[in-house]
Amino acid sequence: MRKTIIAGNWKMHKTVAEARELAQGLVNGVKAELGSAALPDIVLCPTFVCLPEVLTTVKGSSLAVGAQNMDYRDSGAFTGEIAPGMLTSIGVSHVIIGHSERRQYFGETNESVNAKTRAALKHGLIPIVCVGETLAEREENRTDDVIKQQIKAGLAEISVEDAAKLVIAYEPVWAIGTGKNCEVNEANRVCKMIRATINEIYGQAGGTVADGIPVLYGGSVKPSTIDEQMEQSDIDGALVGGAALKVEEFLPIIKGGAKRHQLSASRA
Residues with active-site annotation: 99, 171
- What gap in Å lies between CA 163 and CA 159, rounded to an integer? 6
240 phi-psi bin (left φ>0, alpha ψ -120 to 50, beta other):
beta
In sequence order, what are the residues at sequence separation of 6 or more whose Cβ sits closer than 8 angstroms to the Cβ of residue 78? 71
